[in-house]
Structure 1
């Protein structure tokens, strides 16, 4: 069986994190999301994998070239929807295949449930069904898919994962796959709705923190760096090569830390934290329930909770980030949120900065002694 992974889209609702990378390449637990999708396929013996790339395609292609298995890359030159992306892969399809989004998590057991069906889709109950295609079933077969309804008649949604056949391409047009499947159903083709065991999508940037918690649950502990004998490590903690953990630093897993980082002394890394490579965390700083990407520096005497920090951020001392509830305008829609902060790449902040429920765009500069609560700072802004 073949698999087609759709990784051509940007993921605009996850900005500012997708300004410089497609959503499928956002690192969660220090691995790009698409890697978990590929792993689920390999664990099911599916090694004939096609990846459709488009937005920032060079980043995805470069990553795929580092894998141990060969992956065929197809380019969608214009991002005209998931149906159009799948059509780009049509010449490579031989018979039955699975199509999956490259920016969602799916577990191997769910792939096993659908791989032997020729016309099927994985479905899952979700507390916010209006963000997805809501699925109506009758006798385990799909009767209707209602795309992002304002008032959802069901909590059952499409995961965007389908098992299809080569002849299904006659129903696929330059639009989304939901329309293609609806066309199949209207033509009399029976599409079986198969419950997924474990699936998660990150609709908004703060949803990545929940995904990070999930991925960290089963990490094996490895300590490849240099750890002070006066540091304290508890639980499942991964520490990469070249990383130094200073004296009196406490790390409570699950935590993953990349290569060549400098943590402490006198720091506290709390559970559910992913720290990339070449990250510096200065003394007397607490980081917890967070994603910190490569080459970022966090100054001393800081508190960073419930937060995502992009690459190459430079954050001065006495930074305080804490969680409150707020409303953000995401793609023209008021959206309730609860998190600390999400910072894009290359953000700079001065000392004594306070952030609560704040989105900060790429290359933004926040001067010292600033306090931002339930705010959205655009790319390249100066906050004084």
Structure 2
């Protein structure tokens, strides 16, 4: 069996984090999301894998070339939807095949459930179905897929994982795969609905925190750096090579810390936290339930909770992220969500800055110890 992974899109609802990299390459528990998809395929013995790239394709291709897996790459020249992306892979398809989004987590058991079905869709229950394609099912068969309805008739949604025979390409006449499914159903083809075992998507930036927590459950404990004898570790903790953890630091797993980091002394790192490579946590800093990407510096006496920090942020001492629930507009929708902060790449913050339920775009600069809330556009200088 073959598999096609669609990794050509940007993930616009995850901005500012996807301004410089596609959603499939966002790190979760210190691994790009697409790696989890590839692992699930390999666990099922599926090694004939085609990845469709497009947006920021060079970064995806470079990463795929470093993996120990036989992957064929094809390019979607313009991002014109999922059906168009699948058509880009048509010349590589010779057998029944799976289609999977490269920016969702899916486990191996879910793939095992659908791989032997011809023309099937993997479905799941979701508390916010209006963010997805809502699936109407009768007697185990898909009767209709309604894309992102305001009033969803059911909580059952499409995971974007399909099993197809090669003749599906004759139905790909528009830009999106759900349109092809509708054409197949209208032509009398049977599309079976298969419940997923475990699937998770990150639609908005704060959703990465839940996905990060889920993926940290699977990390392998390892200490590859230099850990002071007074450091306390509890639970599952992974520490990369070249990392130094200073005296009196406490780490409660699950936590993963990348390579060449400088942690502490006297820091506290609480569960559900991932820290990328070359990160600096200065003394007396507390971090919990957060996803911190590469090359971030967090000053001393800071308190970081429920935060996503993009690459290269430099935050001075006494930085605070304060989780609170408020309404925020992202992607044309008003959402009420509770989180501390989402910072794009290269954010700079002066001492005593507080982020409260804030999304700060790339290259934002905050001066003078402000409390910032809501959405701050890329390149803004807050004085």
TM-score normalised according to structure 1 size: 0.99
The one-character-per-residue Cα deviations of 1:92-136 (angstroms, maximum 9, x if unpaired) are 100200000000000000000000011101000100111111111
Q: Would you say the 8 A contact 2:174–2:180 is kept in 1?
A: no
1:113 is aligned to 2:113: yes
The one-character-per-residue Cα deviations of 1:150-198 (angstroms, maximum 9, x if unpaired) are 1111011110100001111100124111111111111100000000010
Deviation at 1:329, TM superposition (A): 1.2
The equivalences for 1:33-72 within 5 A come to 33-72=33-72
1:376 is aligned to 2:382: no
The alignment partner of 2:67 has SS state of coil
Q: Would you say the 8 A contact 2:83–2:174 is kept in 1?
A: yes
The alignment partner of 1:355 has SS state of strand
**Counterpart position of 1:220:** 220
Q: Would you say the 8 A contact 2:321–2:356 is kept in 1?
A: yes
**Counterpart position of 1:300:** 300
The one-character-per-residue Cα deviations of 1:58-86 (angstroms, maximum 9, x if unpaired) are 01000000011121000001000000000
Deviation at 1:366, TM superposition (A): 0.7
1:19 is aligned to 2:19: yes
The alignment partner of 1:142 has SS state of strand
**Counterpart position of 2:165:** 165
**Counterpart position of 2:3:** 3
The alignment partner of 1:127 has SS state of coil
**Counterpart position of 1:123:** 123
The alignment partner of 2:197 has SS state of coil
**Counterpart position of 1:28:** 28
C-alpha distance in structure 1 between counterparts of 2:360 and 2:200, whole Å: 25
**Counterpart position of 1:79:** 79
C-alpha distance in structure 1 between counterparts of 2:324 and 2:267, whole Å: 24
Deviating 4+ runs (over 6 angstroms):
none
Q: Would you say the 8 A contact 1:124–1:195 is kept in 2?
A: yes
The equivalences for 1:249-328 within 5 A come to 249-328=249-328
**Counterpart position of 2:175:** 175
The alignment partner of 2:73 has SS state of strand
The one-character-per-residue Cα deviations of 1:12-69 (angstroms, maximum 9, x if unpaired) are 0000100010000000000000000000000000000000000000010000000111
Deviation at 1:368, TM superposition (A): 2.5
The one-character-per-residue Cα deviations of 1:198-221 (angstroms, maximum 9, x if unpaired) are 001101000000000000112121
C-alpha distance in structure 1 between counterparts of 2:95 and 2:249, whole Å: 55
The alignment partner of 2:117 has SS state of coil
C-alpha distance in structure 2 between counterparts of 1:236 and 1:322, whole Å: 26
Q: Indicate the RMSD between aligned Cα atoms, in angstroms.
A: 0.7
The alignment partner of 2:312 has SS state of coil
Q: Would you say the 8 A contact 1:82–1:175 is kept in 2?
A: yes
**Counterpart position of 1:187:** 187
The equivalences for 1:196-207 within 5 A come to 196-207=196-207
The alignment partner of 1:65 has SS state of helix
| Unaligned stretches of 5+ residues in structure 1 | none
**Counterpart position of 1:132:** 132
| Unaligned stretches of 5+ residues in structure 2 | none
Moved more, 286-295 or 169-178: 169-178
C-alpha distance in structure 1 between counterparts of 2:221 and 2:67, whole Å: 23
Q: Would you say the 8 A contact 1:80–1:174 is kept in 2?
A: no
**Counterpart position of 1:241:** 241
C-alpha distance in structure 2 between counterparts of 1:65 and 1:173, whole Å: 32
Aligned residues: 383
The alignment partner of 1:182 has SS state of helix
C-alpha distance in structure 2 between counterparts of 1:284 and 1:124, whole Å: 42
Q: Would you say the 8 A contact 2:41–2:111 is kept in 1?
A: yes
**Counterpart position of 1:331:** 331
Q: Would you say the 8 A contact 1:327–1:334 is kept in 2?
A: yes
